[in-house]
């Protein structure tokens, strides 16, 4: 096969892997929007906060060490132990559940029945607050996140695909971390779909999403469901934070991955879990393929804007997205 065609196939495969990472972030948005109608601007910061907390627990870092040292004139930074990755992930999940409870208890229970724009503004405030708390708790320096996931090129794939082309083709370059992220995303989506379809709590979440007042009238606890939803979104944020943090380090620019999820949501729909996955794959493949085919003609750097242009086109012709519910306004 022509080498140029094979390089195009490699670009598509890497686009699929990148799309999975985008979809992981978009899943958190979908979970909260589907159950409460809130567009959670803080989802990206939740991924950052989860990753910072995970690294801090693994390294035995003392939370708020800078504040403690400045207040009491001490010089303490670490407890002196290291926590295994699996146990640290469990502890971080507990922290995210506590965060979900605090968000519901201190913020959103006072905003029930408010206009969507008020709830959206609350999540913007929550995003900046969480970013500040993360900085204060764990520091602002770039951190390395290593939970034992394989990284680097898969030489097995390279060696077994090199024969597809000629002397100038050396096999498909596929990052092992991307392969793991794809597997985890498949498992995560399967669990979320089964949970929402076949468990009592999942059905209650769907009932709250359809009609808050009707759900309340049949005995569904709105506070419990919202804590459950925010906890689930926190768990998804932790998974996304691990993947992105392992790939590029835990740094505060990690919070900006939420912006990359917006086109994914516009394509897949704000209320569809499968839509988040399909939208992520379309965006991932589209931006990589566009950069490969059209980028050289326009000076490159098309990955920065292609997703938003594609999302804008979808907004014009299908504003609810591929899998979203049709928008009906009652007057």
Encoded tokens for 65: 């060490």
- Give Cα 301 distance to the centre of its chain: 23
pLDDT at 325: 66
pLDDT tens across the length of the chain (331 residues): 576 777 788 888 888 888 888 888 888 888 888 777 788 888 889 988 999 999 999 999 999 988 898 888 888 888 888 999 999 999 999 999 999 999 988 888 888 777 888 888 999 999 999 999 998 999 888 888 888 888 887 887 888 787 777 767 777 888 888 888 888 888 888 888 888 788 888 888 777 776 667 777 777 777 888 888 889 889 988 998 888 888 888 887 777 777 778 888 888 888 888 888 888 889 989 988 888 888 888 877 788 888 899 888 888 888 888 876 665 555 4
pLDDT at 1: 57
Asked, for residue 154, whether it belongs to a domain, the answer is yes
What DSSP letter does each residue of 125-163 carry, written as one string? HHHHHHHHHHHHHH-SS-B---SS---SB-HHHHHHHGG
CA dist 25 and 255 (Å) reads 10
Question: To which H or E segment does residue 236 belong?
Answer: helix 222-248
Q: Is 243 helix (H, G, I), strand (E, B) or coil?
A: helix
Q: Is 251 helix (H, G, I), strand (E, B) or coil?
A: coil
Which domain does 250 fall in, by range?
Answer: 24-262
pLDDT at 327: 56
Asked, for residue 8, whether it belongs to a domain, the answer is no
Asked, for residue 93, whether it belongs to a domain, the answer is yes
137 contacts: CB under 8 Å, gap ≥ 6: 52, 53, 56, 63, 64
Q: Among 326, 320, 233, which Cα is nearest to 40's?
A: 233
Asked, for residue 163, whether it belongs to a domain, the answer is yes
pLDDT at 97: 93
Asked, for residue 277, whether it belongs to a domain, the answer is no
CA dist 160 and 312 (Å) reads 40
pLDDT at 178: 85
User: What's the domain count of the chain?
Assistant: 1
Asked, for residue 183, whether it belongs to a domain, the answer is yes
pTM score, whole prediction = 0.86
Residue 186, strand partner residues: none
Measure the CA angle with vertex 281, ends 170 and 326; round to 5°. 165
Encoded tokens for 129: 């607050």
pLDDT at 326: 64
pLDDT at 190: 84
- Give residue for tokens 């995303």: 185
Asked, for residue 312, whether it belongs to a domain, the answer is no
HSE-up (13 A, CA, CB side) for residue 321: 24
Encoded tokens for 182: 């794809």
Asked, for residue 276, whether it belongs to a domain, the answer is no
């Amino acid at each position: 096969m022509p080498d140029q065609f094979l390089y195009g196939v490699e670009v598509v495969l890497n686009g699929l892997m990148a799309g999975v990472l985008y979809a992981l972030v978009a899943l958190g948005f979908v979970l909260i929007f589907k159950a409460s109608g809130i567009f959670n601007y803080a989802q990206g910061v939740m991924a950052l906060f989860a990753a910072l907390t995970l690294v801090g627990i693994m390294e035995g870092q003392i939370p708020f060490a800078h504040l403690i040292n400045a207040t009491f004139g001490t010089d303490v930074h670490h407890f002196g132990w290291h926590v295994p990755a699996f146990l640290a992930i469990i502890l971080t999940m507990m922290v995210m559940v506590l965060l979900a409870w605090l968000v519901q208890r201190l913020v959103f229970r006072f905003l029930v029945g408010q206009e969507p724009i008020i709830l959206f503004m609350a999540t913007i405030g929550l995003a900046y607050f969480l970013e500040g708390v993360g900085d204060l708790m764990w520091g602002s320096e770039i951190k390395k996140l290593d939970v034992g996931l394989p990284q680097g090129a898969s030489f097995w794939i390279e060696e077994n695909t090199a024969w597809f082309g000629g002397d100038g083709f050396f096999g498909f370059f596929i990052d092992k971390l991307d392969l793991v992220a794809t597997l985890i995303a498949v498992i995560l989506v399967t669990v979320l779909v089964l949970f929402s379809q076949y468990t009592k709590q999942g059905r209650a979440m769907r009932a709250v999403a359809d009609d808050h007042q009707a759900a309340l009238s049949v005995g569904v606890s709105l506070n419990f469901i919202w804590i459950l939803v925010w906890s689930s979104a926190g768990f998804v944020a932790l998974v996304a934070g691990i993947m992105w943090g392992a790939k590029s380090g835990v740094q505060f620019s990690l919070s900006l991955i939420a912006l990359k999820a917006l086109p994914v949501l516009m394509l897949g729909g704000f209320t569809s879990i499968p839509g988040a996955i399909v939208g992520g794959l379309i965006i991932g493949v589209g931006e990589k393929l566009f950069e490969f085919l059209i980028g050289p003609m326009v000076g490159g750097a098309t990955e920065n804007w292609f997703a938003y242009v594609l999302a804008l086109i979808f907004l014009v012709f299908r504003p609810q997205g591929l899998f979203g519910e049709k928008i009906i306004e009652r007057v």
